[in-house]
Structure 1
Amino acid sequence: MVTRVEHAPLRVEFTFPNGTAWTGNLSATANEKLAEDLAHGLVQMVHPLGRITALQSAVMYTSTIRRMVAELAAMGFHGCLADLRTSHVLSYWMSVSGRRVFHTRRLLVGCGDRVDAGIRVYLEGKPVKSPPRSKPLKPYTDGEWRQIEAGLRDYLQQVMARQREVLDMAALGPDSSDLGRNRQNFAWLVREHGPLKASDATRVLGLTVDYFRDGVGGQYRAVRNAMYPPVQVATAMRLLFGVYSGVVPDGIRDLGMEDFTWTGDRTALMDYVKGRRGPESVNLPARAVRLLERWLELSEPVRRIAPEAIAGDLFVFLDTEFRSTDGSKSQLSALSTRAAPKSGNKARRQLAKDLNLRTDAGEPLLLHSARIRTTYHNVLGRRGWTGRTKIDPNHTASVEGSHYVSSTTPAQAESVEAIIEDAQADILRRSRPPIVLNDEEAAEFVTEQPEQTARLGLDVKEMAELLGGEMDVFTAACANQLAGLHGPKGKPCPARPWVCLLCPLAVFTPRHAPNLLRLKAYFARQSRQMTVQQFLAVFGPYADRLDHDILPRFDARVLEKAAGEVADIDSELPLRPEEGTQ
């Protein structure tokens, strides 16, 4: 971003990552010198020096400067930033809200060493007031999510069907029957002359306004809106696009035709600007690509007659306030919250009402763009790991957790608790030392180490079978191959040979030494063909357990004899083809 302080009048000029510009006016304040000092602090808060990258933040901090200057002047302070002392700042902070304290603290931090040393002590410590914690958006429930998706999809299918019907009628040409007061003639009229007001349409047809009374005018408006999608249709398309892609609402809102790169008949790369981060790209899911194609077909009539300034915007729609046909005013508008925030909010409310969306409790359901994105990632996260450590790299782990993890239904919360319990139990099992026995210890194991016998859950007869070799696997003797620690309970354990090294059911005796050394040689071969990071991620814990906790507990003579049986080749181990090293 490019940001600079200008004078005569005093102002801060911003240029944002998406190419838009905005000027924050700081003229005519009660203390212009202090306003200028704080404006330079604001510049230090803007990307790339700071974290501000969005218009909303720039507007908010410019307003904060004006209010801070005015309120300090009302308290009797008229000096510059260098004259500001701890007493002034503390008195001011105690008189305003926690949110204002948060914003003014950040402004003063941006001013750096120009702030008095006494104030900087408070800037580095705990704030005297904290802003109220924001309440995370809860994802829609599964029932609400299905209802929203199905409602929007069915609504848009009906819109597209009506437009195809009107286009087919328009292709038949004008129809003068009923004095031109019929749908076919209306369809031809709006295709040839654009979305005329009713009064203009009667003039083109050579009729009087009286002929449009008694419901005929409503019929004409229905044909016009079917040909040229109004704001409510574009809003529904934006919401369903968010349901299918999970892109941030402001990224969808500002899309243009140039933001799409078609990489195939059914694949597209979308470039968009996220307010707090800047440019991002995403490969659209297949159904989002199909929806995009349907919207391009649906918006073609309105795009064809749109002014050049907005024809390249993706979401163009027929303005609800129709203008004169003399060309002096545009009849079209790009769907943008900057241009028409009230119309967008009204369209969402009306859309939810028309679709009769209801919560699980039967109350009216509100459509919220950001909540749709939250639900998209919540659903995606419950399907499995998405490959991302965080949904939004701007978030801290605590914010990410409160926004996307903690917002769960009772059933989801129960599942999460079960996963946590299983993970904790697994960590506890792995922390226990391995059971490694020599011949003498094996003979006295049941009587000398009853706690270990209880840990394995075996009786005397089963322990005899274990120590006698009847329950051996490749690496160790297994107390219960059907325990389900590494696979479905009641089915044979599917774990790879090295997994036994960390398994709490494994017992290692001298007869297993040759295979343990073969496994050690296998680890050495893998370490030579993998990077250190890869090896540690895949084999690190097992190699460490083998080298430090298991092999050192065998007699050196046992290991020396076993080493003579190791040929250091893959065929010595039960490996899958993809696990080979030779």
Structure 2
Amino acid sequence: MLIDQPLEITCVFSDGSRAAFSLDGLPNPLLARQLATGLVDVIHPHGTSDSAGTVNHYVQAIRGMARTLAAQGFTGGLDQLRRGRLAQYLMGCSGGREACTRAMIEAFGQAGGSLADGVLELAAGRNFNVQPNHHALPPYSETEWQRLGDLCRRLVEESYAAHRQALISVAHGQHPAEGGWTPQNLRWLLATVGPVSISEFGRNVGISAALVHRRGGFHDATQALFPHLEVLVAYRLLFGIYSGIVPDGIEDLVTQDVDWAGDSTILLSYVKGRTAAESLNLPRRAVRLLEQWLAHSALLRSFVPPDEGRKLWLGLSRAGGDRRVRQFDRVAIQRWVQRHQLVGDDGQPLKIHRSRIRTTHEAMRDKSTWTGSGRATIDPNHTPAVEGDHYLTAATPAQQRAVEAVIEDAQHDLLRRSHPPTVITEEEAAALAEGYPQLVADLVSSTTR
């Protein structure tokens, strides 16, 4: 909740804890309030920020922006902030503060707030300051990798099967006011009016939201027809497992990046955080998953504005709601892990790092493809030494044994080649052939003795 006098934000998180953050006394209260308005949509239950520590980072970003711009003589609101000044400010921020500021401005603009030309596009774009990560995470163990993949596949398959069944029932449904309150008719109405809140759905039927809730079936119908955050997490993690694309490349994909090159081949274009555009011929499993996702999200995509419909990963923030997912951060993923009781080898909730998924994907690759120019499909920005450090030394026990076997074979070949070849004359070869039967007989007799 946003309170004006004095300016502050109060929060109630999913675990029942509460926190309040004061924004009073800043040199530019208008700018602070507008940023705080965007922050409201980032915090649970509207967004995925669900802890006092996370919200505090956003509050510090509001204070920093208000004070910095005021010191430069800017005292207006976000509607008066020009693209150039915003870019200058973001370039001077730390990586974390820049990310928080971008998220609040984007949320403010998407909620209907007035912004100058180009500001929303800049806020939704790529960060100027990339937070460095000098420590490559080791790949997941084979058992952890298997558990993660199995969970994602199960959720994806079950949700898509329910979606297809819901679409079939829509074809035979009618308005609940005429045909009765049945699951089939609820799905028909939602497929007609789109994802709406429970209050809006009640107005379409002519009853109150409380009565809709008592009769039941609304949340199940919404969950079946439209993909929500629970399913979206599974699709995106599974796509990373199948394709091995960098996390920021998956994050920013739009439908125009998908280029069909036949019935079973996709050339996917994506942008990596520290480099220019790249492309990848997707593996067959990733192609099928992407094809299924486009079919799964097609109905929801038909009800959103064209600009938002271009986003590849489109879903509702929760089943039974009408808000779309705006952020896909580590907090949302870890809550997903806890809900599904996904644990690591240590028995604790498995920590999901999307960059670690990429590392494990590369570690699991068939070694027979690591020849010639195949390394370009791993990472064209790495030297062979860096790739060796990231993808060979960080291997599972089974793969480590395979690498050691390859090294032993290579050493054996080198030793064999170091001995000079044995050359014999024709006379020596004839003498050897003549005495060969006797030599074999002597060996047999010595063996039997």
TM-score relative to the length of structure 2: 0.62
| Partner residue, 1:396 | 383
The question of whether the paired residues in 2 share the 8 Å contact of 1:274 and 1:280 is answered with: yes
Separation (CA, whole Å) in 2 of partners of 1:309 and 1:470: 88
| Partner residue, 2:419 | 432
| Partner residue, 1:138 | 138
Separation (CA, whole Å) in 2 of partners of 1:397 and 1:28: 34
Map Cα deviations across residues 89-110 of structure 1 (whole Å, 9 max, x no partner): xxxxxxxxxx9xxxxxxxxxxx
Q: Determine helix, strand or coil for the equivalent of 2:150.
A: helix
Alignment of 1:84-233 (within 5 A): 134-174=134-174, 176=176, 181-214=181-214, 216=215, 219-233=217-231
Query: What amino acid sits opposite 1:468 in the alignment?
Result: L
CA 1:383–1:348 in structure 2 vs 1: closer, same or farther (change >3 Å)? farther
Separation (CA, whole Å) in 2 of partners of 1:386 and 1:435: 33
Separation (CA, whole Å) in 2 of partners of 1:354 and 1:471: 79
The question of whether the paired residues in 1 share the 8 Å contact of 2:343 and 2:350 is answered with: yes
Unaligned residue ranges in structure 1 (runs of 5+): 1-7, 11-19, 30-53, 62-98, 100-132, 324-330, 443-463, 473-582
Q: What is the deviation of 1:294? A: 1.0
Q: Which of 367, 378, 393 pairs up with 2:352?
A: 367
| Partner residue, 2:12 | none
Separation (CA, whole Å) in 2 of partners of 1:283 and 1:28: 37
Q: Determine helix, strand or coil for the equivalent of 2:278.
A: strand
Q: Determine helix, strand or coil for the equivalent of 1:188.
A: helix
| Partner residue, 1:380 | 365
Separation (CA, whole Å) in 2 of partners of 1:296 and 1:26: 34
The question of whether the paired residues in 2 share the 8 Å contact of 1:180 and 1:205 is answered with: no
Question: Share of identical aligned residues, percent?
Answer: 37
| Partner residue, 2:10 | none
Alignment of 1:251-330 (within 5 A): 251-320=249-318
| Partner residue, 1:357 | 342
CA 1:286–1:466 in structure 2 vs 1: closer, same or farther (change >3 Å)? farther
Separation (CA, whole Å) in 2 of partners of 1:267 and 1:432: 50
Q: Determine helix, strand or coil for the equivalent of 2:88.
A: strand
The question of whether the paired residues in 2 share the 8 Å contact of 1:229 and 1:298 is answered with: yes
TM-score relative to the length of structure 1: 0.49
CA 1:164–1:466 in structure 2 vs 1: closer, same or farther (change >3 Å)? farther
Separation (CA, whole Å) in 1 of partners of 2:251 and 2:72: 33
| Partner residue, 1:347 | 332
Unaligned residue ranges in structure 2 (runs of 5+): 1-70, 74-82, 94-124, 437-449
CA 1:383–1:205 in structure 2 vs 1: closer, same or farther (change >3 Å)? same
Map Cα deviations across residues 19-45 of structure 1 (whole Å, 9 max, x no partner): x9981328999xxxxxxxxxxxxxxxx
Q: What is the deviation of 1:266? A: 1.6
The question of whether the paired residues in 2 share the 8 Å contact of 1:316 and 1:332 is answered with: no
Map Cα deviations across residues 154-187 of structure 1 (whole Å, 9 max, x no partner): 2111111221232233322336489954423321
CA 1:227–1:425 in structure 2 vs 1: closer, same or farther (change >3 Å)? same
Separation (CA, whole Å) in 1 of partners of 2:312 and 2:202: 32
Q: What is the deviation of 1:409? A: 2.7
Separation (CA, whole Å) in 1 of partners of 2:72 and 2:316: 39
Separation (CA, whole Å) in 1 of partners of 2:211 and 2:177: 13
Residue correspondences, number: 323
Q: Determine helix, strand or coil for the equivalent of 1:395.
A: coil
Separation (CA, whole Å) in 2 of partners of 1:363 and 1:470: 73
CA 1:435–1:351 in structure 2 vs 1: closer, same or farther (change >3 Å)? same
The question of whether the paired residues in 1 share the 8 Å contact of 2:139 and 2:396 is answered with: no
The question of whether the paired residues in 1 share the 8 Å contact of 2:266 and 2:282 is answered with: yes
CA 1:162–1:386 in structure 2 vs 1: closer, same or farther (change >3 Å)? farther
When Rg is computed on C-alpha atoms for both structures, the one with the higher figure is 1
Separation (CA, whole Å) in 2 of partners of 1:243 and 1:159: 19
Q: What is the deviation of 1:197? A: 1.0
CA 1:431–1:184 in structure 2 vs 1: closer, same or farther (change >3 Å)? same
Separation (CA, whole Å) in 1 of partners of 2:397 and 2:319: 46
The question of whether the paired residues in 1 share the 8 Å contact of 2:247 and 2:355 is answered with: yes
CA 1:240–1:381 in structure 2 vs 1: closer, same or farther (change >3 Å)? same
Separation (CA, whole Å) in 1 of partners of 2:287 and 2:92: 51
Map Cα deviations across residues 208-262 of structure 1 (whole Å, 9 max, x no partner): 2331344x45x31221122111122222111111222222222122112211222
Separation (CA, whole Å) in 2 of partners of 1:221 and 1:256: 28
Q: What is the deviation of 1:332? A: 5.5
| Partner residue, 2:396 | 409
Deviates more, 1:264-273 or 1:420-429: 420-429
CA 1:174–1:471 in structure 2 vs 1: closer, same or farther (change >3 Å)? farther
Q: Does 1:468 align with 2:449?
A: no
Q: Which of 123, 129, 133 pairs up with 1:59?
A: 129
Separation (CA, whole Å) in 1 of partners of 2:432 and 2:145: 58
Q: What is the deviation of 1:207? A: 1.0
The question of whether the paired residues in 1 share the 8 Å contact of 2:271 and 2:277 is answered with: yes
Separation (CA, whole Å) in 2 of partners of 1:288 and 1:192: 31
Map Cα deviations across residues 494-522 of structure 1 (whole Å, 9 max, x no partner): xxxxxxxxxxxxxxxxxxxxxxxxxxxxx
The question of whether the paired residues in 2 share the 8 Å contact of 1:380 and 1:386 is answered with: no
The question of whether the paired residues in 1 share the 8 Å contact of 2:91 and 2:129 is answered with: no
Q: What is the deviation of 1:322? A: 8.8
Separation (CA, whole Å) in 1 of partners of 2:226 and 2:256: 22
The question of whether the paired residues in 1 share the 8 Å contact of 2:253 and 2:313 is answered with: yes
Query: What amino acid sits opposite 1:141 in the alignment?
Result: S
Bigger relative CO (Cα 8 Å, ≥ 6 apart): 2
CA 1:208–1:26 in structure 2 vs 1: closer, same or farther (change >3 Å)? closer
CA 1:413–1:206 in structure 2 vs 1: closer, same or farther (change >3 Å)? same
